[in-house]
Amino acid sequence: MKVMKFGGTSVGKPERMHHIVSLVTKEEEPTIVVLSALSGTTNALVEIGDYLSKGNRTSAKQCIEKLEAHYHTFVKELVKKKESVAKAESIIAEHFEFLNIILKISFSEALSKDLLAQGELLSTKLFCTYLEEQGIDHFLLPALEFMVIDSYDEPQVSVIKNKLGLLLKKHKNKKLFVTQGYICRNSRGEVDNLKRGGSDYSASLIAAAVTATVCEIWTDIDGMHNNDPRIVKKTIPVEQLSFEEAAELAYFGAKILHPASIWPAQQFKIPVKLLNTMQPGAKGTLITEQAGSVGVKAVAAKDNIIAIRIKSSRMLLAYGFLRKIFEVFEKYRTPIDMITTSEVAVSLTIDHSVHLKEIVKELEPFGSIELDEKQTIISVVGNEISKTDDMVKKLFGSIMNIPVRMVSYGGSPHNISLLVSAEYKIKILKQLNKGMFGLE
Binding site for Mg ion (CB under 5 A): 7, 197
Closest CB 221 distance from ligand ADP, rounded Å: 4
Stretch that binds ligand ASP, among 34-42, 204-212, 266-274, 395-403 (CB under 6 A): 34-42
Residue 124 touching ligand ADP (CB under 6 A): no
Stretch that binds ligand ASP, among 35-43, 284-292, 303-311, 326-334 (CB under 6 A): 35-43
Closest CA to 387 of 408, 411, 414: 414
Residue 181 touching ligand ADP (CB under 6 A): no
3-state secondary structure the chain: CEEEEECHHHHCCHHHHHHHHHHHCCCCCCEEEEECCCCCHHHHHHHHHHHHHCCCHHHHHHHHHHHHHHHHHHHHHHCCCHHHHHHHHHHHHHHHHHHHHHHHCCCCHHHHHHHHHHHHHHHHHHHHHHHHHCCCCCEEECHHHCCEECCCCCECHHHHHHHHHHHHHHCCCCCEEEEECCEEECCCCCEEECCCCCHHHHHHHHHHHCCCCCEEEEECCCCCECCCCCCCCCCCECCEEEHHHHHHHHHCCCCCCCCCCCHHHHHCCCCEEEEECCCCCCCCEEEECCCCCCEEEEEEEEEEEEEEEEECHHHCCCCCHHHHHHHHHHHCCCCCCCEEECCCEEEEEECCCCCHHHHHHHHHHHCEEEEEEEEEEEEEEEECHHHCCCHHHHHHHCCCCCCCCEEEECCCCCEEEEEEEHHHHHHHHHHHHHHHHCCC
Residue 8 touching ligand ADP (CB under 6 A): yes
Closest CB 282 distance from ligand ASP, rounded Å: 21
Residue 178 touching ligand ADP (CB under 6 A): no
Residue 37 touching ligand ASP (CB under 6 A): yes
Q: Which of residues 62-121 bind ligand ASP (CB under 6 A)?
A: 119
355-359 contacts, C-beta under 8 A, 24 or more apart: 356/306, 358/332, 359/308, 359/328, 359/329, 359/332, 359/334
Residue 176 touching ligand ADP (CB under 6 A): no
d(CA 298, CA 179): 32
Q: Which of 2, 3, 4, 10 binds ligand ADP (CB under 6 A)?
A: 10
Residue 387: strand, helix, or coil: helix
Residue 42 touching ligand ADP (CB under 6 A): no
Closest CB 197 distance from Mg ion, rounded Å: 4
Residue 37 touching ligand ADP (CB under 6 A): no
Residue nearest to ligand ADP (CB): 7
Residue 204 touching ligand ADP (CB under 6 A): no
Residue 198 touching ligand ASP (CB under 6 A): yes
Q: Which of residues 38-67 bind ligand ASP (CB under 6 A)?
A: 42
Closest CB 134 distance from ligand ADP, rounded Å: 23
Closest CB 42 distance from ligand ADP, rounded Å: 10
Q: Which of residues 226-245 bind ligand ADP (CB under 6 A)?
A: 228-230
Please answer whether residues 348 and 371 qualify as being in contact, where contact means their C-beta atoms are separated by less than 8 angstroms. no
Residue 7 touching ligand ASP (CB under 6 A): yes
Residue 254 touching ligand ADP (CB under 6 A): yes
Q: Which does 196 bind (CB under 5 to 8 A by kind): Mg ion, ligand ADP, ligand ASP, none?
A: ligand ASP
Q: Which of residues 138-197 bind ligand ASP (CB under 6 A)?
A: 181-182, 196-197
The smaller minimum CB distance to ligand ADP, of residues 37 and 52, is found at 37
The smaller minimum CB distance to ligand ADP, of residues 172 and 230, is found at 230
The smaller minimum CB distance to Mg ion, of residues 12 and 197, is found at 197
Q: Which does 9 bind (CB under 5 to 8 A by kind): Mg ion, ligand ADP, ligand ASP, none?
A: ligand ADP
Q: Which residues contact ligand ADP by CB under 6 A?
A: 7-10, 36, 197, 219-221, 224-225, 228-230, 254-256, 298, 300
Q: Which residues bind ligand ASP (CB under 6 A)?
A: 7-8, 36-37, 42, 119, 181-182, 196-199
